[in-house]
């Protein structure tokens, strides 16, 4: 079987603004036909990364290839193929949604049907000029602008910022339909639920460096979590001897305990018999998957939402 096609290949990418190192040696690949989320706190370098891919910035060192091409040198070949949604703006302030989309559509050989696109994103009833649109309407129009030319790769910078929950679902639906139809999607986000819900692959970056990357399922599915509260400072050594191999227990904030690993009957019975032997009764017992937030915390010791 042939190696899966790579849409974007980033190797040792470094970018500085003056003396500030925005990116320092970032490497990852974006597989074709998938949704890849660049996840990280504000200032991590997410926007800088995609702006290099879009040809807006030149790397100080390292290389970026989009469909095997150089985003700056081969911009003429890439522009028809790549859809761009900026983090903010990009649209004439006094234009309405449909005229803006029709105008952009006129640049392409086989654009999407504008009326259909407007209906999909719930922009049909929006009569306001861009300046007077709500944050969510602006974002949906910018998303429509990114896809109207029928690109095979789209870069979406914080696509759901400013959207209410309902319009966020409409935007997510569109992104999932893009993937279903074979479009490669790269999006940045600092929202864990967005990355978990949408992305096939997550690339977590912080301080301009790769924290980790991999298929979303592998990152979050590598174990579960059992958490409970009980009195502070309990002796965890007897519990550790009872737990199955690979499971780890620790006390986070005083009185809050977490067991991480394959959470199954063995773990539950280990916790039960340990508590019974100590004569304590655990409260607020809950089990769940490890979230991306847990992954990020484990790897960096920092909160993702900063």
Partner 1 sequence: MSVSGITTAPGGLSPMPGAAPRRRILLSQALHEIRTTLRNGEQLLLTLVIPLLLLVGLSHLPTDLVGHSPSIDAVAPGVLALAVMSTAFTGQAIATGFERRYGVLKLLGATPLGRSGLVVAKTLGVLAVEVVQILLVAVVAFVLGWQPVGSAPSAVLLLVLGTAAFSALGLLLAGLLRAEATLAVANGVYLLLLAVGGVVIPADRLPAGVASVVSLLPSSALGQGLRDVLLHGQVFPLGPVVILLVWALVAGTITVRTFRWS
Applying CB under 8 A, the residues found at the interface with partner 1 are 54-56, 75-76, 79-82, 84, 86, 88-94, 102-116, 145, 147, 149-152, 174, 177-178, 180-183
What's the residue count for the chain?
306
Closest CA to 152 of 52, 7, 53, 50: 7
38 versus 178: smaller Cβ distance to partner 1: 178
Contact of 91 with 121, CB cutoff 8 Å: no
CA dihedral for 141, 146, 150, 152, sign (positive or negative):
negative
76 versus 237: smaller Cβ distance to partner 1: 76
32 versus 234: smaller Cβ distance to partner 1: 32
How far apart are CB 124 and partner 1 at their closest, in Å?
A: 14
How far apart are CB 209 and partner 1 at their closest, in Å?
A: 25
Distance CA 134, CA 213 (A): 34
Q: Supply 69's token pair.
A: 């091409």
How far apart are CB 129 and partner 1 at their closest, in Å?
A: 12
53 versus 304: smaller Cβ distance to partner 1: 53
How far apart are CB 232 and partner 1 at their closest, in Å?
A: 53
Closest CA to 174 of 215, 212, 145: 145
99 versus 244: smaller Cβ distance to partner 1: 99
**Is residue 167 classed exposed, middle or buried when 0-12, 13-18 and 19+ CB atoms within 10 A define those classes?**
buried
How far apart are CB 58 and partner 1 at their closest, in Å?
A: 13
Contact of 140 with 91, CB cutoff 8 Å: no
Collapse the DSSP code of 297 into the 3-class scheme (helix H, G, I; strand E, B; otherwise coil) and give the result. helix
């Amino acid at each position: 079987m042939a190696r899966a096609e790579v849409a974007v290949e980033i190797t040792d990418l470094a970018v500085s603004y003056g003396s500030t190192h925005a990116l320092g040696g970032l490497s990852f690949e974006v597989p074709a036909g998938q949704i890849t989320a660049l996840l990280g706190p504000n200032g991590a370098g997410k926007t800088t990364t995609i702006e290099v891919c879009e040809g807006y910035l030149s790397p100080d060192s390292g290389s970026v290839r989009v469909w095997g091409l150089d985003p700056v040198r081969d911009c003429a070949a890439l522009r028809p193929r790549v859809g761009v949604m900026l983090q903010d703006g990009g649209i004439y302030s006094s234009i309405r949604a449909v005229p803006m989309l029709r105008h952009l559509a006129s640049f392409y050989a086989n654009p999407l049907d504008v009326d259909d696109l407007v209906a999909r994103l719930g922009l049909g009833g929006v009569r306001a000029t861009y300046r007077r649109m709500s944050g969510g309407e602006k974002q949906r129009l910018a998303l429509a602008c990114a896809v109207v030319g029928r690109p095979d790769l789209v870069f979406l910078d914080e696509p759901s910022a400013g959207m209410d929950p309902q319009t966020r679902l409409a935007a997510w639906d569109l992104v999932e339909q893009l993937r279903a139809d074979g479009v490669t999607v790269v999006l940045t986000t600092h929202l864990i639920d967005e990355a978990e819900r949408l992305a096939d692959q997550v690339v977590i970056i912080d301080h301009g460096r790769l924290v980790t990357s991999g298929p979303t399922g592998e990152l979050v599915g590598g174990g579960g979590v059992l958490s409970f509260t009980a009195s502070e400072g309990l002796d965890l050594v007897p519990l550790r001897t009872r737990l199955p191999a690979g499971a780890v227990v620790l006390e986070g904030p005083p009185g809050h305990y977490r067991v991480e690993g394959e959470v199954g009957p063995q773990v539950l019975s280990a916790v039960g018999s340990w508590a019974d032997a100590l004569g304590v009764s655990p409260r607020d017992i809950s089990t769940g998957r490890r979230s991306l937030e847990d992954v990020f915390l484990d790897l960096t010791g920092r909160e993702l939402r900063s």
